[in-house]
Amino acid sequence: MNRGITIGRIFGIRINIDWSWLLIFALITWNLSTLFMETHPGWTLAAQWGLALVAAVLFFLSVLAHELAHSLMARAQGIPVLSITLFLFGGVSNIQREPPSPRAEFLITIVGPLTSIVLGGLLILVGSFALPTLSPEALNNPSGLAAQLSPLATILLWLGPVNLVLGVFNLIPGFPLDGGRLLRSLLWAITDNLRQATRWASWVGQGVAWLLIFAGIAMVFGLELPLFGTGLSGLWLVLIGWFLSTAAVQSYRQVVVQDILEDVPVSQLMRRNPPTVPGSVTIATLVHEHLMHSDEHAFPVVEDGRLLGLVTLEDVRKISRDQWETTLVRDVMTPAAALTTLSPPKDASEALQKLQQRDVRQLPVLENGRLAGLLRRRDILKWLQLQGTE
Ligand SMILES: [Zn+2]
């Protein structure tokens, strides 16, 4: 989720926009401006486009309000939240841990759709006050009715229902959507087993996803569905269904992996006494004496028992062959100060998170400032295979 831009912070939570969000922004602006051209031919072109743009920004703020509700409730339950990312299908709060209890999960989840639905209701209420007194002819002619709406009423009466849809759509019981999370919190409360509850919620999520996909395909082939209609717009349902299905499978896997690694200390999985190299040897020595004679891709650089840095196959690749004899390991390594390190008693699920965040294959493990071992991705993978997760 690192593709995109950070636009600022609210309550210390970083707000990111994924590039795919810009597509939705453009689509909304385009759709609305075309709609305004039909319903309000009297407005200037600048007003039609300007209002469409304002509406798109307000939609953005609506999704943000929904996510902020989740994030602030998570924080109130003692779970740190780093960031919120808005992307093609809405928003996602980067909540750092699974909730500690079914109650916490229920509360963190329910406030999102509640915010959207209450906001939607309020906007419609205010919008209906902003309605003009209508002439009897206008009431008999819906398009004439729309033309009489002021810009303010137009926006409010668009944004209100949109927020209602946002709240209701999220209540679909497809994990990891809000509805799926609510379902999981209930199953969790009943079974007292997070992994079991997640598995069932994930199955329901996949079921719902496939239902959407089949409904979408049926619409493309001409079936008329209540609420959704018919025709090519069914492709949207297929897309959303496919997205939900992938998300359901992935989030289940994530929970299983976290569950398995949670109580395992790093010291149990790491490679102890990994082969090391001194910083003063040349790249040629590193390659011929160390890299080629082991299956390691990375070597801690150690002198007098102190970790100086880490040198990897990728570092060597950046040096052209004719400079191998003259370049020293300490000149190409990542210095210790720039490395993320682990300590032996830390739990392995945290270690995996760090490996993924830094996008590296291994992390050095330090004990009292001295190298105790090396934890590699494949060590974690081996442990997961032993537990038979796949
Ligand atoms: Zn939500």
Q: What residue spans define the domains of the chain?
A: 1-171, 175-261, 266-386
Which region among 117-121, 153-157, 210-214, 376-380 has the lowest average model confidence (pLDDT)? Answer: 153-157
Beta strands in 162-253 (DSSP E): none
Q: Would you say how long the chain is, in residues? A: 390
Distance 98 CA to ligand 1 centre (A): 15
Distance 109 CA to ligand 1 centre (A): 6
Q: How far apart are CA 126 and CA 155, in angstroms?
A: 11
Distance 181 CA to ligand 1 centre (A): 9
Q: How far apart are CA 357 and CA 111, in angstroms?
A: 28
Distance 72 CA to ligand 1 centre (A): 12
Share of the chain above pLDDT 90, in %: 19
Q: How far apart are CA 237 and CA 214, in angstroms?
A: 9
Distance 92 CA to ligand 1 centre (A): 7
Q: Residue 120 above 90 pLDDT? A: yes
In the three-class reduction of DSSP (H, G, I as helix; E, B as strand; rest coil), residue 302 is classed as strand
Q: What is the mean pLDDT of residues 338-364?
A: 86
Distance 135 CA to ligand 1 centre (A): 41
Cβ-contact 95, 108 below 8 angstroms: yes
Distance 353 CA to ligand 1 centre (A): 23
Distance 18 CA to ligand 1 centre (A): 17
Which region among 199-208, 250-259, 335-344 has the lowest average model confidence (pLDDT)? Answer: 250-259
Q: Residue 290 above 70 pLDDT? A: yes
Distance 111 CA to ligand 1 centre (A): 8
Beta bridge partners of 374: 271, 364
Distance 127 CA to ligand 1 centre (A): 25
Distance 177 CA to ligand 1 centre (A): 7
Query: Is CATH 3.10.580.10 the right assignment for the domain spanning 266-386?
Result: yes
Distance 70 CA to ligand 1 centre (A): 7
Distance 22 CA to ligand 1 centre (A): 20
Residue 123 confidence class, pLDDT cut points 50, 70, 90: very high
The predicted structure's pLDDT at residue 140: 59
Distance 67 CA to ligand 1 centre (A): 6
